[in-house]
A and B are shown apart, each in its own frame.
Chain A
Amino acid sequence: MSTRRVVIGKRADGAYGIFVSKAGFDAYTTADSNLLLNVSSKVSTLLLLGKVSSTQTIALGLSRSPIVLVTTQNSLSGLPGYSGSGGPCRPSPLMSMTPDGSGGYTVGYTTPGTATINGNGASMTVTCGGPTVYAVYSKAFT
């Protein structure tokens, strides 16, 4: 009997999608736990990934609103004892601490990045004061 490692289409359990099984298991009939790849679930998909350094409007060309996560780069200089140049940080803004000269600290906030969806998915405006990564996802199916 042949052992099918890849199935594209309908599996024995009725699910449709793309399936790749572990060696020695038939991708058509084996249990989900024996699959290396199972593209049949309704999950969010990464549609677009990009980076801007200042406020910018980006064309999406969609007719529905996606989910957008933005992460603003932070120097992490407010972390006592941290050495390095930092990177994307959550939450945004991250609190910062600056010694005030009297043994205490002045607490501040760095500018957060935000994204606004325009025209029901036609475009989005990323508002930021520094390097900001945006990731656009499809909504999870319900």
Chain B
Amino acid sequence: MTTRRVLISPGSSSPLRVSAGGVDASGAQFDDLIFDANQPPLRVAINGWMRVPYVAAGDSNILRWATGPALPATPAGAYPLFLLMWYAPTADPAFEGSYAPGRSPYGTGTCYSQNFGAGGAVGDGRFTGISFNKQTILFSGDPFPNFTDQTRIAYCIFRNYQ
């Protein structure tokens, strides 16, 4: 049987399909398709990173935020899709001045029931970077590292919106 990798079918439910190797594009399941003209591809609008002040240990103000780039235009009430990762300054002297690998936007620590991390939001025409650090027991200074740098947030904002 012929395996059609690319199928152009004007008038059908999907005018253009590209399948994975060994799979006929005609009857391929959604995750066996490389491209389906029925689905809107993700389109990147803005890709970059920004700084947000880190929340120091013992600070009762556990949230920090900073203004990021302007968002692509969307209809009223709609917001662009976005993804992000955060990069925390590492306290390890061996890596002084460097950043830990990218993490998901939320983290917890067993040390003093600490909740920490960073994330962001889209709204009011701009991306907002946010960092937070909540400790059940608040100390000023040790045993927490004295962060002098800032949190970095990598963001990817798409033209797709909802």
A8 in complex: contacting residue of B6, B29, B65, B119, CB < 8 Å = B6
Distance in Å from the Cβ of A4 to the closest Cβ of chain B? 15
Question: CB distance A95 to B62 under 8 Å?
Answer: yes
A18 in complex: contacting residue of B6, B60, B61, CB < 8 Å = B6
Instruction: Give A139 to B30 CA distance when docked, in angstroms.
Output: 9
What total of chain A residues lie within 8 Å of the partner, measured CB to CB? 48
A66 contacts across to B, CB distance below 8 A: 30-31
B35 in complex: contacting residue of A10, A17, A90, A103, CB < 8 Å = A17
B41 contacts across to A, CB distance below 8 A: 45-46
B104 contacts across to A, CB distance below 8 A: 91
Question: CB distance B18 to A16 under 8 Å?
Answer: yes
Q: Can you name the residue of chain B whose Cβ is closest to the Cβ of A63? A: B29
Q: How many residue-residue contacts, CB under 8 A, span A and B? A: 134
Question: CB distance B29 to A49 under 8 Å?
Answer: no
Q: Can you name the residue of chain B whose Cβ is closest to the Cβ of A8? A: B6
Instruction: Give A9 to B63 CA distance when docked, in angstroms.
Output: 52
Question: CB distance B60 to A104 under 8 Å?
Answer: yes
Instruction: Give A141 to B30 CA distance when docked, in angstroms.
Output: 11
What total of chain B residues lie within 8 Å of the partner, measured CB to CB? 44
Which residues of A, 107-142, contact B by the 8 Å Cβ criterion? 107, 133, 135, 138-139, 141
B162: Cβ under 8 A from any A Cβ: yes
Question: CB distance B30 to A45 under 8 Å?
Answer: yes
B128: Cβ under 8 A from any A Cβ: yes
Question: CB distance B20 to A90 under 8 Å?
Answer: no
Q: Mark B6-18, 1 if CB is under 8 A from A, else 0.
A: 1010000000101
Write the residues of chain A forming the contact surface with B, with a CB cutoff of 8 angstroms. 8-10, 16-18, 39-43, 45-47, 49-51, 62-64, 66, 73-74, 76, 78-80, 82, 84-91, 94-95, 97, 103-105, 107, 133, 135, 138-139, 141
Write the residues of chain B forming the contact surface with A, with a CB cutoff of 8 angstroms. 5-6, 8, 16, 18, 20-21, 29-31, 33-36, 39-42, 60-63, 65, 79, 81-82, 84, 104-106, 115, 117, 119-124, 128, 130, 132, 134, 160, 162
- 16 further A-B pairs in the complex, CB-CB below 8 A; given A50-B162, A94-B132: A9-B6, A40-B18, A45-B33, A47-B30, A49-B162, A73-B123, A86-B123, A86-B124, A87-B122, A88-B82, A89-B122, A90-B82, A94-B121, A138-B30, A139-B31, A141-B31
